[in-house]
């Protein structure tokens, strides 16, 4: 995976998460297009392969849309369809990409808290990515949600901030 001095701490944290890792979670915050999602997907795949356990990757926006649709159409779900909330609450490993991109409504904040609380109580490791700073996440997700993420990330030890000057991989700035 292409790295840079600005992403070295992120790559090292993901290597730790794969080899030593869970039950801790990781939050990767920094500018868009620096490789957070790609590196996190690779780590999720490797962790699942090593443990022979399941994982799931989704964006926060997509997940919340699926949960909302599931609540509205609960009686119309086809036979064998899984409740999206339960799926992500209980999957052994979850990558929740682009947290903070969703519109913050009371329903979003409450649903996100229920999801984070359930994963935390069940010791389910989660990889989070965000283009927002930690301070901006507080403003978008609320203190209780961000506090839960910090708790899941080993009281903040698993929060990796990527420098704003990291190379943009989408426009040819990476290795």
* Cα 53 from Cα 70, distance rounded (Å): 25
Cβ–Cβ < 8 Å for 37, 129: yes
| CA–centroid distance for 25 within its chain | 9
In this prediction, residue 71 carries a pLDDT of: 63
Cβ–Cβ < 8 Å for 10, 127: no
Phi and psi torsions of 18, nearest 5°: -70, -45
Cβ–Cβ < 8 Å for 106, 75: no
In this prediction, residue 86 carries a pLDDT of: 80
93 contact partners, CB below 8 Å, separation of at least 6: 22, 44, 47, 48, 51, 53, 54, 55, 56, 124, 125, 126, 127
In this prediction, residue 46 carries a pLDDT of: 95
In this prediction, residue 8 carries a pLDDT of: 87
Print pLDDT tens along the chain (175 aa). 556 778 888 989 999 999 987 678 999 999 888 889 989 999 999 999 999 899 999 999 999 998 888 765 555 555 555 677 788 888 999 999 999 999 889 999 999 999 999 999 999 999 999 999 989 999 999 999 999 999 999 887 899 988 777 666 666 655 4
**Element at 172 (helix H, strand E):** none
In this prediction, residue 27 carries a pLDDT of: 96
Cα distances (angstroms) measured from residue 130 to each of 20, 48, 61, 83: 23, 22, 12, 25
In this prediction, residue 72 carries a pLDDT of: 58
Inter-axis angle of helices 143-152 and 106-121, nearest 10 = 20
In this prediction, residue 146 carries a pLDDT of: 95
In this prediction, residue 14 carries a pLDDT of: 92
pTM: 0.86
In this prediction, residue 169 carries a pLDDT of: 65
In this prediction, residue 1 carries a pLDDT of: 55
In this prediction, residue 175 carries a pLDDT of: 47
Cβ–Cβ < 8 Å for 85, 40: no
């Amino acid at each position: 995976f292409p790295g840079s001095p600005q992403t070295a701490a992120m790559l090292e944290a993901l290597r730790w998460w794969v080899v030593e890792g869970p039950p801790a979670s990781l939050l990767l915050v920094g500018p868009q297009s620096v490789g957070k999602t790609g590196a996190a997907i690779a780590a999720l795949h490797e962790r699942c392969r090593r443990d022979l356990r399941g994982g799931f990757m989704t964006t926060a926006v997509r997940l919340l849309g699926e949960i909302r649709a599931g609540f509205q159409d609960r009686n119309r779900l086809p036979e064998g369809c899984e409740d999206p909330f339960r799926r992500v609450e209980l999957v052994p490993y979850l990558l929740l990409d682009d947290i903070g991109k969703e519109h913050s409504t009371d329903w979003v904040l409450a649903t996100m808290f229920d999801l984070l609380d359930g994963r935390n109580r069940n010791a389910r490791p989660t990889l989070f990515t965000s283009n927002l700073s930690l301070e901006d996440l507080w403003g978008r997700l609320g203190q209780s949600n961000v506090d839960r993420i910090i708790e899941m990330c080993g009281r903040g030890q698993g929060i990796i901030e990527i420098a704003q000057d990291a190379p943009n991989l989408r426009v040819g700035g990476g290795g």
